[in-house]
Amino acid sequence: MSDAWLIEPAGPLRGEVQVRGSKNAVTKHMVAAILGSGPSTITNVPEVGDVDITAGILTAVGAGVERTGDSITITPPAEVNPIVPLSFSGLNRIPVLLLGPLLHLAGEAFVPRVGGDRIGGRPVDFHVDTLRALGAEVEVTDEGISARCSRLRGGIIELPYPSVGATETALMSAAMAEGKSVIRGAATEPEVLELALFLQRMGARIELRPDRRIVIEGVPNLRGARNRLQGDRNEAFSYLVAGLLTGGEVRVVGCGQDRLVTAITTLMRMGAQVDVDDNGMTASAPDGLRAAAVQTDVHPGFMTDWQTPLMVLFTQAEGMSVLHETVYEDRFVYVPALQAMGGEIELFSSCLGGPACRFHETSNLHSAVVRGVSKLRGAEVEIPDVRAGFSSVIAAAAADGPSTLRGVHHLERGYHRPAEQLRSLGVDLTTT
């Protein structure tokens, strides 16, 4: 299979894109499903590489995985293999989320080291501390994480930072723990709440409290459930930006307005016109775009995954824009590629465009100043991760001259049929 795309500029992108469920939600639902007493079915599932990787992991521990169209059915294992093979090392973040469920099912677990996008440190400490708070014995080695516990018991889980992954580990681990658990400092991203609602359908007793607290009363058993995933807010924003960047107009359907509130207002502040109805939304900029200052944050702030397409959009906005990344310290790994394509971007270790963040006394380059309007040009680009991949694609679509993008498997790991969707909007894309 080809791992490179040749993109020729073809003018403004126009058309409609139907987004499916979030890659950040479907894989967590798949893991939670092995806790049920019977099969669970998830629908509106995207065709992304992370689903295939997760299916392989679940099959390896003894679960059944059946896919039909846009639905996937997970059958809990009759005989559990509590050891996730080392062959899954470094592919994605899912193995660490299996620790709690495997402890419930087998009393022991081993998962290999985690992987995912190269966007900065995403340590497993929060996951390990969560399991220890619930009574597990946990050992971390260079190969992975081992855990053992005859029965998880409720406890107080203090998260120093509202980590999405650690909150998801806490939810799945506490759902069947003996007694009551409280997560303090929990993440509240839509994908986290979507998982909590799915667990509730399975019979979990979960309450959402003020001040980022979640209370879980453990139950002895969960049942299978069915859920239709909500639209992927990352994809939705990316395609809206693709239209704006090229002077076109893209309509996105399948993702609710409530999942894009902050993103929509950000685009409006830049001069975009965003028309929203019950089925979808359209973004256009007939009078051009102006500069803005944006700071990423945990939900309900501006999502860190949105900043990669926004950075490209800043290159086509009149004036000096500022982007302050506060979630991951190395999220700007894609910037050299945009600079090579003509983007006028300078990175700083200072906190610009917002109050001081947790990286303010480090040497991490986590603020960017972008001068627009920049004339983008074609280039050869190596894609480092999922979101950076899309930013390179839309930059290439707006550039003067052809571009070759290598490493597109990263893009295919997180976006539903990206080549097909992009071609439908008018991108001149050839696999090489």
Which of 117, 232, 305, 385 is catalytic? The answer is 117
Q: What does the block give as tokens for 357?
A: 């963040």
Q: How far apart are CA 87 and CA 41, in angstroms?
A: 27
117 is catalytic: yes
Amino acid at 258: D
User: Tokens 């040009």 — which residue?
Assistant: 377
Nearest CA-CA partner of 305 in 23, 45, 28, 49: 23
Spatial contact of 350 and 141, defined as CB atoms under 8 Å apart: no
Strands (E), 95-194: 108-112, 137-140, 144-148, 156-158, 180-184
Amino acid letter at 160? P
| Residue of 335, 286, 340 lying closest to 314 (CA atoms) | 335
Tokens of 52: 């295939």
Cα separation, 299 vs 294, in Å, equals: 14
Q: Give the whole-angstrom CA distance, residue 365 versus residue 311.
A: 15
**Calpha distance 227→54 (Å, rounded):** 18
C-beta of residue 313 within 8 angstroms of C-beta of residue 244: yes
How does DSSP classify residue 415?
Answer: S
Q: What share of the chain is helix, strand, coil (3-state, %, to 5)?
A: 35, 25, 40
* Burial environment of residue 344 by CB neighbours within 10 A (0 to 12, 13 to 18, 19 or more): middle
The crossing angle, in degrees rounded to 10, of helices 99-106 and 125-133 is 30
- Contact (CB, 8 A) for 42 and 229: yes
Q: Do 43 and 71 touch, CB atoms closer than 8 A?
A: yes
Which residues are annotated as catalytic?
Answer: 117
